[in-house]
Amino acid sequence: MGLFDKLKSGLSKTKKNLIERVETVLVNRSIDASAADDIEEILITSDIGSEAASQIVEFLRAGISSGRIRNTAEVKAALRSQMTSMLGIHQPLVTFGEKPFVILTVGVNGVGKTTTIGKLAARFISEGNSVLIAAGDTFRAAAIEQLEVWSQRTGADILKHQSGSDPAAVAFDAVEAAKARGIDVVIIDTAGRLHTKSQLMDELKKINRVIKKAMPDAPQEILLVVDATTGQNALRQAQIFNEAVGVTGIALTKLDGTAKGGIIFAIKKELGIPVRLIGIGEGVEDLRDFKPAEFVTALFE
């Protein structure tokens, strides 16, 4: 299966919940204001969110009233155009500036954070970069063990302290070690935390501050990993993590197992944070750059 076919397959549940429902609601009916209302309801219940849905349907209503949009094909073309435009340009995760390039990885438990770090390490190494993984989730011995496995599998260096030690110290030591060894990329894990727990968010702020003591321009990327299957809760997580530490990019995992992929539009519209990566399967190659036009095409074709 080619890469695009894999993406289409991964988005099949989202497509069924979104595009196919729009097609069904338009069967044998005139394209009028009530059709636009029904489409808006479908968009909102597909986790696209009220703000994004409202913008898309406003465009539809204007086209319907002016006579530009008269049939199902023209409705779908308008939806496709608006959804592509809303997601904006391709903004991949790329290294820049002075080395090391430091990625602080954040997110709640169970979203696939550790696996995403492992896959990212594999990608950077395949591109010729040296990588140091920092095992900053010191609360879970299993997280450290998982990263050790990824380190062995990918050839990345790993820096860890004893279980239960200060995560900020791990982050600081990792950046210092990377500077000393001339390493290109540092990927720092952090404890999976409920976004509702303020003391854990305070700890995340401390980690961010301590990294800057080692390297003032770091972290250059604060990557929030969210699970697409959680829908609107993923948007809430993004809001709170963004308020705490200023998220610069999002990795949206488990898109292959959900009908809630519409959340990608809500995140972009309401927060303006670029989605950099999407997970559409278990393999290392299934952590993909998020390309807005390709994503929308896969939903419609």
**Residue for token pair 């002075």:** 98
pLDDT, greater one: 171 or 237: 171
Domain 3-87 architecture: Up-down Bundle (1.20)
28-60 residue pLDDT tens? 888 999 999 999 999 999 899 899 999 999 999
Do the beta carbons of residue 183 and residue 157 sit within 8 Å? yes
Q: With residue 224 as reference, give the H or E element that holds it.
A: strand 221-227
Integer angstrom CA distances of residue 144 from 100, 120, 168, 237, 256: 22, 16, 15, 24, 26
What is the torsion angle, in degrees rounded to the nearest 10, for the CA atoms of residue 213, residue 237, residue 277 and residue 245?
A: -20
Q: Which pLDDT score, from 0 to 100, does residue 81 have?
A: 95
The pTM score is 0.94
Which amino acid is it at 109?
Answer: N
Can you give the residue ranges of every domain in the chain? 3-87, 101-295
Please indicate whether the domains covering 3-87 and 101-295 agree at the CATH topology level: no
Partners of residue 104 on adjacent β-strands: 188, 222
* Collapsed DSSP state (helix, strand, coil) of residue 220: coil
**107/114 Cα distance (integer angstroms):** 10
Torsion sign over Cα 86, 90, 93, 96: negative
Lowest model confidence (mean pLDDT) among 8-12, 96-100, 118-122, 153-157: 8-12
**pLDDT tens sequence across 75-95:** 999 999 999 999 999 999 999
Question: Domain 101-295 in CATH: superfamily?
Answer: P-loop containing nucleotide triphosphate hydrolases (3.40.50.300)
